Structure 1
Amino acid sequence: MTDRTLPLPALGNAAGNPAPARTPRSQPRLRPRIAAVVVAVLALWGVWATWDTFVRSPGGQRADQLALDGAARGQGLLWELAEPVLGVVSNSFVGLGLAVAVVLALARGRWWLAAQVAILVAGSNLTTQVLKHLVLDRPALLDVARADINTLPSGHTTVAASVAAGLLIAVPRRWRPVVAVAGAGYTAATGVSTLIGQWHRPSDVVAAVLVVLAWGAGVCALSSPSSLDGPRDGLEPGTSGAAGLLLLGAVGTGAVALGALGGVRGDGWGLPLGGDLTAYMGGMLGVVAVTLGSFALLLLVRQSTARPAP
């Protein structure tokens, strides 16, 4: 009698129905992650270039100091608006903002996304403190008080920008354009408020925003299936509109800021009330320009790295 191998029955459930095939998990795309790394590296270079231009050179320090001196003009009225904005920024604010972003990620079942948010907020603020107190110095090139005390990057601006960026990364795709615009507005308001209160020079604020952009793009480059959008989530119509609006604002304010910087150096126009006011207004617009541009880039990086591979 010949042995015959009987076919094994197909696996199924108790009712005899065949088990459904498992759908493979979506994977992040490579090109957007490479682009995110490029953005992060350029942002880090921007931090160094800001310090090298406005802290290590006499001309840069002079322009920055003029902006700080110009903040004394009309400070009484402006400080009434700026002080409440700065009053929000505290350790409690960081904890609350981080908790909200992490809870949003966990509520969606995204464990790695929650870790990305925590890395972004903690890394940004730690980097700012290390750069300010241990890495970067400030040569005393001007005859002013506390000329050798380094204040770059701004800690208050880093806190505001990192919390806003964490929320941008954590929320669902359709909400990111709104969060990007709102986060850019709040970060810019915080940065400008530190100028009004003469807490920081413009370069301090610019460097802080770039630190957060570097960390935000960096964690986006570490995307995993947990941080991807659903396969049915296509490009939101609001993404291009919000990014375009932010970039348009960055170009407009940046052009005027560059003109003001040229005016301070004697190369172009200047306000009739003096070089300190020209530097002050130019510094404000420069802060706004860098903030708007950074959040536009972060929005585009997050949307592209969150889209799963086909």
Structure 2
Amino acid sequence: MSMVQHAPPDGGQPFGGTHPGGGAYDAQRGPAGPARPVNPQRATRWVWSLVGAIVAGVAVAGLARCFVGSAAGLWVDELAFVGSERGRDQLEPISHVVLSVVSVPFLVVAMIAVVAIALARRRWGDAARAVIVVVGANLFTQVFKKMVERPDLAGMPSLDNSLPSGHTTVAASVSAVALLVAPRAARPFVAILGGAYTAATAVATMSLGWHRPSDVIAAIAVVTAWTLLIMVPGSGRRADGFPGSPGRVAASLVLGGVAIGGIAVGVVTLLTTLAGVDLAATYTEARDAFDGAGLLLAYGGSAAAVVGCAAASAWAQLLARR
């Protein structure tokens, strides 16, 4: 049946027409008001999430290839690992406190807590995404670790592959899902706190000699990839507010500054250490070629890179979460 507009007897607005104010008009309900403005970033959020997930995934493969599969990477990683012995006695008590909470029960309790928060807020999708991130990232870390073989090289101690770090994956995944289910107003604070917790856990594993720098950076990248990838399906829905709140801008500046600064220090340290490595030397000769200051620089610079990567991960997730 065709729809025909008829003018009312008094010559007013046609039934079913347009209200003079610009909105839709209904004969029974009256004017609906002007059209609601659409957030222009709604259409691009999924692109940010997808590109970030791809970059993080490539980083995991690249770290394994460069720092486990190549002689130069193995040497640099090993020298930073040896450098972690410097000051270990002073940092050991703090490191044990940080790592004492990282366990399977802690992961389960944290996952139950974030799911409960999401359900209380009626965010059913966020609850499902939190479970996928925690389970997926931690299972992937364990499987990937078994798939990568660490070669024996020039007298270097023969050890099983430890990339990615399981402890760092747990901490980073808990931080990620906390941000995922947090109310919008709390996200800037949660992002900074989560980045700090991830960085503290990662550096603690290094300071105790449990992991090398590449192990913990790879773990951060694993969680980042899973988190951003799982955000893609929900990134097309309307954002729950515009992104320019003062708290969010401040958090972005802090996280971005730490990320850029830390990674820059790490890159400079990497190049400096690599320039001093003799790939033809034996393990003992290569180690003795670096004095205490050189080893401390390798460790300190890599720790700065780890802090920068943790900040970059939290920064990317905050921007993708809107």
Per-residue deviation, residues 188-228 of structure 1 (Å, max 9, x unmatched)? 00000000010000000000000000011011112178x86
1:87 to 91, 94, 100: 100
| Counterparts of residues 56-205 of structure 1 (less than 5 Å) | 56-133=69-146, 135-147=147-159, 149-205=160-216
Give 1:211's aligned residue: 222
| Contact 1:168 1:176 (C-alpha < 8 Å) held by counterparts | yes
The amino acid of 1:240's aligned partner reads V
2:311 is paired with a residue whose SS is helix
* Aligned counterpart, 2:312: 293
Return the offset for 1:234. Answer: 5.4
RCO greater where, 1 or 2, for CA within 8 Å and sep 6 or more? 1
Rg larger for: 2
Q: Is 1:255 matched with 2:268? A: no
Partner Cα separation in structure 2 for residue 141 and residue 61 of structure 1: 8
Q: CA deviation at 1:236?
A: 2.5
Q: Where do 4+ consecutive residues of structure 1 move more than 4 Å?
A: 18-21
Cα pair distance change 1:253/1:82, threshold 3 Å: same
**Structure 1 residue 279 and structure 2 residue 298: aligned?**
yes
Q: From the superposition, tell whether residues 109 and 233 of structure 1 become closer, same or farther in structure 2 (CA, over 3 Å).
A: farther
Any gaps of 5 or more consecutive residues in structure 2?
1-27, 33-37, 278-289
Report % sequence identity: 39
Shift of 1:274: 3.5
**Count of matched residue pairs:** 279
- Residue 258 of structure 1 deviates from its aligned partner by 1.7
Letter in 2 for 1:131: F
Partner of residue 60 from structure 2, selected from 28, 47, 62: 47
2: CA distance, partners of 1:112 / 1:261 = 41
Please tell me whether the aligned partners of residues 45 and 235 of structure 2 are also in contact (alpha carbons under 8 angstroms): no
8 Å contact kept, 1:67–1:280 = yes
- Cα distance change, pair 103–228 in 1 and its aligned pair in 2 (3 A): farther
C-alpha separation in 1, matches of 2:238 and 2:166: 31
The TM-score normalised by the length of structure 2 is 0.80
Question: How far off its partner does 1:73 sit?
Answer: 1.4
CA shift in 2, pair 1:52/1:200, >3 Å: same
The within-5 A match list for 1:202-241 is 202-223=213-234, 229-230=239-240, 235-241=244-250
Pairwise CA distance, 1:237 = 2.2
Partners of 2:186 and 2:154 in 1: CA distance: 47
Q: 1:54 to 1:105 in 2, by over 3 A?
A: same
Cα distance between partner residues in 2 of 1:137 and 1:174: 44
1:236 alignment partner AA: S
Quote how far apart the aligned CAs of 1:95 are. Answer: 1.1
